[in-house]
Amino acid sequence: MAVIPLITQPAGYLFDRARSAHPWLAALDALQAGSAPGHAALAQNWRMDGRVDAARERHLAAAGCFPDGAAGKGFQAAIWEYFRHYQCHPASGPSCAGYADVPNCGNLIPFEEQPARGHRLVHIGSLGRLINLVLSGLPGKEGFLRAWPALTGYRPIAESTPGNIDRLVSTLQNKGSGAIRQFALALSDALGDTEPHWWAAFSHEIGALEKNRDWTQAVQKTGQGHIEQGEWLIAWRYSPELAGKLYRPSVAEAGDYAFHFPSPPLAPYGITMPLAPALPAVREVIHAPLKGENGADACIGFGRVEHDPIPANDEKTWFPHRRHEHAGMLGRTQPAHFHAQAWLQRHALLP
């Protein structure tokens, strides 16, 4: 473990080491002691995220997903069970998604802190992964496959191999922006109500994606370390007003994604951990996915990850060092009223 100057808020923290009686601590300790890449960082993220307040913690406990001891399915599996059963829902209605439910109201961005309408948001996703999600058996799969020939001019694909995605992108780009938007609409319809929340950054902090086919730097700025070289991405740009309610992200929204680094508890937005120290961290929010014509109109097309977003063959040493650098940056740059230094000092041991 590396000793790092961190950030904090005096309030309670989920799974704080001082709370030795917490029933989940044994499972969290087992996760942190595991040898799999990212497990120690994931455990530390859950220990230090001050945005999971007492109300949200009670919601997590009531979900019944998390183990009461070191035995059982393990903490990583519990995180994904919670994500699948409590986050992949609409943002309203009787089975409201966890991020939009009342227990998470402390992370709702209040009106006075919301971005101006001119500060447009951008959401970036992996085209192949989204298609694979549909093809895995979502209720919208059959409709998506029926619509495929009209959208592309050829028979539906059985899986999203790199060659299939290359052909799809080339076909849609040749057809023009209208065809791309119609495909985005069909994909959104197929994902349906089970599509998880969108992570969004500010367009002016990411840059003009349409002017550059290579979106590697956008992936690095937004800290998407799971994206690999050669992947095609799809993006949407839109007014914050279309997104509706905006929320500060917490570990409960990040799944088992260790590249997420908790943000200072009092910061008005989330702050990404860029994958290269020379790049600036950008602000981020989460919100319900855009649907219907709003989503189709907001789609700006495709970009490719031309370079490896993280150093090849060096993740074991690079990753802890990058977290160390990022924590130091937060301590130096965040305003004093965010209590960044205190938070980081309270959680000074990072894997």
Which of 320, 266, 325 minimizes the C-alpha distance to 10?
266
Measured CA distances, 217 to 152, 209, 213, 229, 325 (Å): 29, 10, 11, 12, 18
Strand, coil or helix: what is 153?
coil
Given a cut of 80, is residue 132 above it in pLDDT?
Answer: yes
Token duo for residue 228: 């690999």
Residue where the block lists tokens 């948001």: 121
Tell me the mean pLDDT in the region 315-330.
87
The lowest-confidence range among 50-59, 61-70, 83-92, 120-129 is 61-70
Given a cut of 70, is residue 17 above it in pLDDT?
Answer: no
Average pLDDT, the chain: 89
User: How confident is residue 71, by pLDDT bands cut at 50, 70 and 90?
Assistant: low
Which of 205, 235, 239, 254 minimizes the C-alpha distance to 305?
235
Strands, E assignment, the chain: 2-3, 6-8, 121-126, 198-202, 232-238, 270-271, 283-287, 299-304, 349-350
User: Does residue 337 or residue 332 have the better pLDDT?
Assistant: 332
Query: In the prediction, which pLDDT does 2 show?
Result: 35
Query: In the prediction, which pLDDT does 243 show?
Result: 96
Instruction: Report how far residue 228's alpha carbon sits from residue 305's, in angstroms, rounded to the nearest whole number.
Output: 7
The lowest-confidence range among 28-37, 176-185, 198-207 is 28-37
Q: What sign does the CA torsion over 59, 63, 64, 70 have?
A: negative
Given a cut of 70, is residue 5 above it in pLDDT?
Answer: no
Query: In the prediction, which pLDDT does 342 show?
Result: 77
Query: In the prediction, which pLDDT does 334 show?
Result: 84
The lowest-confidence range among 177-186, 224-233, 264-273, 307-316 is 307-316
